[in-house]
Structure formats: C-alpha cells, structure tokens
Structure 1
Amino acid sequence: MGIRIDYRGKIRSYGFPKRLESELIALFEDNVDRIHSQTRRSRNALSVKTQEYRLVGVCAAIRELRGEGGYAIESPWSIRHKHVTWLVTYWVKKGQTGGTIENKLTYLRATAHWMGKPNLVLTLERYVDRKAAGLKRHYTAQEDLSWSGKGIDIDVEIRRIEAEDAIAGLQLRLMWKFGLRVEEAFKFRPTQDLRDGAIFVSEGSKGGRSRPVPITRPKEQYDLLVAAAGFKNSRTGSTIPDAHSYDSWSNHFYELVAKHGVTKEGRLGRTPHGLRHEYMQGLYTDVTGELAPIKDGSRRVDREVHREGQRRVAEAAGHSRVSKANAYLSTYATQEVKRRLVISPTQAAQAVTEHGGNKSKAAIALGISRRALYRLLERYESGDQS
C-alpha cells in the first residue's frame, strides 16, 4: 500500500450528512489508491496528488448536486444518470473546458466502479455535442504555445522572477531546458535523477511514468543541474525549499509568476507550461535540423527524419505514442490548412505569375501543397477573387 491522504478529514470538511459522510469514507478507505485507468503503464500505487484530485473531484460534484442542483443526495449509491447529466450541463454552463469536464467524469467513473456501477458515468460525448458546446479537444497543436512563439525573451523574463525568488526562477529554467511539467520541476532531485547522460523524471510525472530526458546541450544543461543541486531540499532532495510543503510552495510559485504576468491573461500571455513546449520544439530542431511544423510548417523535412524527431519528443515528454508529439509540434497538414484559410485566390494567382507560371514553386512560396494551390486557382478562374 502506498502513502495515503487524510481522506477522512477532507471528506468531513464538506459538512455532508452523517450517512453520506460515513459511506464516502468507507468507499475511499477501501478504494482510494486503486488504479482505474486501463492505459496507465505504471502499476505503482497512485500518487498522493492523484488521490487528492480524485477525492476532491467526487466530493465537489456531490456538493454541487446538493447545492446548486437541489438534489437531496444522502448516499453515493443514490447517484443516478440524471445527476451526472445535470453535472455536465452545469459545468458546460460555467464555461469549463472539455479537458476539465473529462477529468471530473473520470473521478466519478472510478467511484462508480467501486460501487459496482461501471455504466453509471458515460463519456462526455454521450452527454453533450462537443462541437456545439465549444468543447472540441485538439490533440494536435493549433497554435504555438511556446514563449518564443509570443516573441518573449525567455532569459530576461526568468531573470525578473529570479531577482525576487531564485528557486522559482531555477524551476522555470528546469522546465525550459528539460521540458519538465511544473510539478516535475518542483519534485526534481538534481543529485539523484542524473545518470548515463540523461535525467530520469519520475517524481510528479503523470501516471507515475518514469522517462529519460537526454542531455543534448551539455554546457547549459549541466550548469543548470549544478545550480539546482545548490537548492536541494535537505529531506527529499527535491527543489522545494525546506520551509515549504508541496502545496504551500505551489501556491507561492503560482502567485509569484502571476505577479510577473506569466498567465494566459497576464502581461506575457503565456503560462509556465509554455516552457515545456519551448523545450520540445527545440529538441525536434536538435534532432532534425529544422523547425517544428508549428514554427514553420512550409519547410518539410524527410519523412523518416521527421518521424525520428517526433519519436524523440514523445519519449522526452513521457508519452507512449509517437503521435502525442503533435501536441507540441503540430503537423504539416494542420499548418497548411491554417495558411490556406488566409490565402485568397487572387494571392495564389499572383504567386504563379511571380514564379513565371511554375505552380510547384508558387505552392512552396505560399507554404501550401500543389493540390491546395490548384483549388485556389480554380476559384480564381471561376471569378472568385476574394
């Protein structure tokens, strides 16, 4: 059995009726660290953080049913399809994203399995039309979320934060130079996780998946690891300061970066996670010698070279499928569609003229395929010159 959270105390903090409270405690006592996902590669017990997300997600949903929903839920076994349907409708109205709602349904689905009700919680598509509700989820990058994609001088901005808190700045650099998630950067152990020319990320990773991240730029990466070793926690070896728990440091970190505009709505318009995109795109360039499609989709690399770049990025990101790399890199096809939408038939005809009638060269100059160019020219010749 792995480490468990104080589920009794957390459930009691919601002020539920005694029967509901006791039955939830019994459910979590028997099942809280059970693995529900069928795709999770690690068979290790769930992390404390994952257990907490699951417990809070379930309790918050029940509180919403009893509060805003007006349902007198007295037992988790009383939850029916109509209750889940109401929750999804409520979450959509609140403007929550498809990913957030899917996560909440995952927590409820795990609980339903504990109760022997595997068909109680359906997929999001069974409750709502994703497209109509604006919940369509893209697994291929539609826009460049890296900091450089926003024209940000990364070093300058991190230095601003370092001037106020050196450790927070260091953690941002770990995200930038090794592609770590925020929690992974917090829990990274600089003197324990380096070996054989790579760092091995496990603490704080999704699903407990351990992965190697290669040292591809020795000078800057090793210098950063040396600096990180100077800040290691005396008990855990992580980069979370001795005076902080994970939660208190996380709160401090996010308040600090928000103060410096590192949010979607802030001055920079980018989050710390954008530094992970930065690293993955840079790794692709290191491997292939070319920019990622999201950076310059008009210049295609050899198919096998591109595939190797995807594979290396997926491995460094901790994903089992090569296609997952597209979340950071995008694809040539996606970028071509975006360019085609902004190229008018008139511009296509002008490009052909400028290249002496050579349609292949005109297509390359426009960053689209010849087939796309022909379609634009057909529109031009039919009189559609917009």
Structure 2
Amino acid sequence: MSKATQHRRTTSAVASLVHQPRRRQDWNGLSARETLARYPIGKTPPLKVLEVLIALFNKQHTAKQKEVSFKTRQERADFFRRFFRDLKDKAGFKTRPDPRNLGERHIRASVTVWHKEGLAPATIQTYLSFLRGLANWIGKPGLVRAPHYYGLQPDAYQRHEAAQRDKSWSAQGIDIDGLIEEICRFDPYVGAAMRLIRVMGLRRKEAIMFRPHRCVVLFEATGLPLHKRKAERYARIKAGSKGGRERFVALDTPERLAAIDHAQAVVTTSDGHMGHPSHSLEQALRRFNYVLEKFGVTHKALGVTAHGLRHEVLIEQFEAMTGHAAPVRGGERLPPEIDAPARQDVAELAGHARKRASNAYLGGVIARQHKQNNPSANEE
C-alpha cells in the first residue's frame, strides 16, 4: 500500500470517528439512562450531552429494529450539532438547552429560521424526521409534530415515488450490449460490472462489491423457502444502499450465467471483487464513473446513467412476467392478480421489501393517468 493511500485511509477513518464517536469503555454494563445520569442537567455543557446521545443512539433506526447506514449517521450527527449551535446563533435563544430539555418552542423557532432561509420543504421534512428520532432518544416521542403543523403542505415535501418517464437505456435508442462490449474492451473490470448490472439490475456499488467466485451459492445456502426456488445457483448481493438489503438473485437465464462466467474470468482470485485489485472501493467507484463518462453514459451526452440500466432490467422483468408493457411505457392497468405478484418480484429483485418500491421503476396508475390527462406535460 502506498503512503498516499495509507494517508487517505487514515484520514477517512479519523473523519469517521469525528462523526461517529465510539461508545466509551467506562460505559460498559450501563444502560442508556444510567450513562446519561453521569452527565447532570445544568452541570454538563449541552454540546457534550449531545455527543453522548450521538454515541449512544445514532446507529439506531428511528422506527425499525436495525442499524442505519454510516451516511445517515453522519448526516444526523452533523445536523444535530448545527441545530444546537443555531438555537443560540440564529433562533434567538440566549443559551443552548440541554438536549434532554428540548421543547416545542425550540422546534418551532428553528422551523421559522429554516423558512426564512428558504430551505426546501423536503429538506425541512428531513430535519423534522431527524429531530423526531432525537425526541425518541430523550424519551419525548410526541415532541415533534406532523409537518403540516409547521406550515408544510404534503404536496410540497412528499417525494413522488412513481416513475414519470422511462429512464431505461432502450428508451434512448442505445445499443446496450454493443456499448457494454466497448466498455469491456477499454476496462475489463468496469465492463464486467456493467454486464452484471445488465442482467441482474444491480446498483453501481453492488456490482463493484460483487465477488463472482465467493458470492455464487447453491439454492440450499440462500435460506429461501422451497416454493421460491427458481434455479440451482444464486448470486448473493450485498446491500448497496441504506434502503437496500442483502438478497439472492436466481441464475436462471443463459444471460445471467454468461455474465457470471465472464466476471469469474476477469476476477481470477477466489476473493476478488469487480474493482481493479489495486483499487479501494472509493477508487473503484471513481474509476467506474470515469469510464462511463468517457463512453457518454451521462444525462448530458446519451441521456442516461448507469442507474438507467437497472431500470431497464426491472422493467424487462415486469414485462416478461406479465406479458404487458410497464405503466411507465404506456401499459394499460392490469388485474391485481397479474400486476401484484409481478411488482413484488420486481421489488425483491431490486432489493426492496415493499412492493410499492417497484413504482420507482415501473410507474404507477397515478403517473399513467397524469400522462394521459396531460399529454403535453413536461417530463422530469
């Protein structure tokens, strides 16, 4: 490992510790309440108490029994630190409150500041969600009200999950396999990763992290119920985003088997991943982006991104199962007994637990009706 690479990794690790403080050894065996009792209200600086709360709770999801991604932890920690500084610097409070004394007046004053600063409603909604989590940490679950209480309209902050246009490569008239073949000749690792995306609908990070020798397993090793068996071998896909989850993709088509064989030929070591052996994950992601940009895989050049190839696969999956065009391609409304299982299959292939997540790729009834009623409406 070069000194420069070692320095970057050390710097990254230090930065991570700043955002994600480790639980102290002298807290071992203590409950969260017992730990916080060591920092009396009024005698402990508020920002120090905040760091204790972050160390105790920031790994936790606000609503589910699971841990959140490092990205979410960092964003929440940064927000909380800024929020308590701004209570004094911007919101007009003479002193910063102990986080355990956070009250509704602090929330309302901060929302007022955010409105004056022109923050987007979706951003304010995210901040309220973070504060809702903090309220749970301090035992005040009802402290943060619903967004409309703070003057936010649902249409302004709710994200539209259903795809409004076809983002697939074929929709832009791209010779998909021909372009991937060109990429393979230029960079075998990026090309092999693209072939995996092409047949399994992987995310960019999932494709690069994939280990083609280690992550191909027999059906018996998947833990899937017998009635879901589709093939003898499966690809184990490690989650590549906070909303994703580990999943198994059936190697049930010649195209998927060929992509796996190609990847194994490129990555000759048993533990190798789809990035160049000399690259860290961060470097492999940058290389992937560079190669795709070189071949015009951008909104500006060809009108698509690597993620559009994921859309391609998931739309194809739906159409193969139903025999009909997806809604985002103008398909008609299907009977629930045909539509529902296909959408569930697409959601699972994409790495989501909820069937409605498929709307982001396939479109939905609302999106299709909007398109029919407003034929001249601008696309995203």
Superposition TM-score, scaled by structure 1 size: 0.67
Alignment-derived partner of residue 330 in structure 1: 363
Within-5 A mapping of 1:86-125: 86=112, 88-89=114-115, 93=118, 98=122, 102-125=125-148
CA 171–67 in structure 1, closer or farther in 2 if over 3 Å, else same = farther
Task: Name the structure 2 match of 1:22.
Answer: 48
Structure 2 residue aligned with 1:34, among 48, 52, 60? Answer: 60
* Alpha-carbon distance between aligned partners in 1 of 2:199 and 2:370, rounded to the nearest angstrom: 31
- Which residue in the other structure is 1:170 paired with? 192
Between the aligned partners of 1:245 and 1:76, the Cα distance in structure 2 is 41
- Contact between 1:281 and 1:329, CA under 8 Å: does it hold in 2? yes
Structure 1 residues 155 and 190: alpha-carbon distance in aligned structure 2, compared to 1, 3 A threshold: same
- Segments of 5+ residues of structure 2 without an aligned counterpart are 1-12, 22-43, 220-230
How far is the alpha carbon of 1:31 from its aligned partner? 1.7
The answer as to 2:292 corresponding to 1:283 is no
Once the two structures are TM-superposed, the CA of residue 295 in structure 1 deviates from its matched residue by: 1.4
Residue 315 of structure 1 pairs with residue 315 of structure 2: no
| 1:192-207 equivalence runs, <5 A | 192-195=214-217, 196=219, 197=231, 198-206=234-242
Alignment of 1:262-281 (within 5 A): 262-264=297-299, 266-281=300-315
Contact 2:201 2:309 in 1 (8 A): yes
Letter in 2 for 1:323: R
User: 1:201-244: CA deviations, max 9, x gaps?
Assistant: 2343545633232334x222112112323455969643344433
Partners in 1 of 2:46 and 2:18 — Cα distance?
A: 14
Distance 1:341 1:154 in 2: 31
Q: Contact 2:244/2:351 (CA < 8 Å) preserved in 1?
A: no
Matched, 1:245 2:267: no
2: distance between equivalents of 1:72 and 1:268?
A: 54
Distance 2:254 2:270 in 1: 28
What corresponds to 1:225 in structure 2?
Answer: 260
Q: CA deviation at 1:318?
A: 2.7
Aligned to 2:73: 51
Q: Alpha-carbon deviation of 1:178?
A: 1.0
Distance 1:333 1:193 in 2: 39
Q: Using the TM superposition, give the Cα deviation of residue 143 of structure 1 relative to its aligned residue in structure 2, in angstroms.
A: 1.6
Q: CA deviation at 1:127?
A: 3.5
The letter of the residue matching 1:325 is S
Q: Does the CA contact (< 8 Å) of 1:233 and 1:242 recur in 2?
A: no
Partner Cα separation in structure 1 for residue 268 and residue 84 of structure 2? 38
Change (3 A) 1:340 1:25: closer
Please give the per-residue CA displacement for 1:274-328, whole angstroms capped at 9, x wherever unaligned. Answer: 2221111010122122221211324x55542233322211221233333332222
Q: TM-score, normalised by structure 2?
A: 0.68
Give distance in 2, aligned partners of 1:105 and 1:161: 44
- Number of aligned pairs? 324
C-alpha offsets along residues 33-70 of structure 1, whole Å, 9 cap, x if unaligned? Answer: 223233xxxx5544444433443454466677788878
* Corresponding letter in the other structure for 2:257: Y
SS of structure 1 residue aligned to 2:374: helix
Cα 1:249–1:103 change in 2 (3 A) is farther
Q: 1:179 aligns with which of 174, 184, 201?
A: 201
Specify whether residues 81 and 50 from structure 1 end up closer, same or farther in structure 2 by C-alpha distance, changes over 3 A only: closer
Q: Which has the higher contact order (CA 8 A, sep 6+)?
A: 2
Q: Which AA in structure 2 matches 1:37?
A: A
Measured after TM superposition, the shift of residue 342 of structure 1 is 3.2
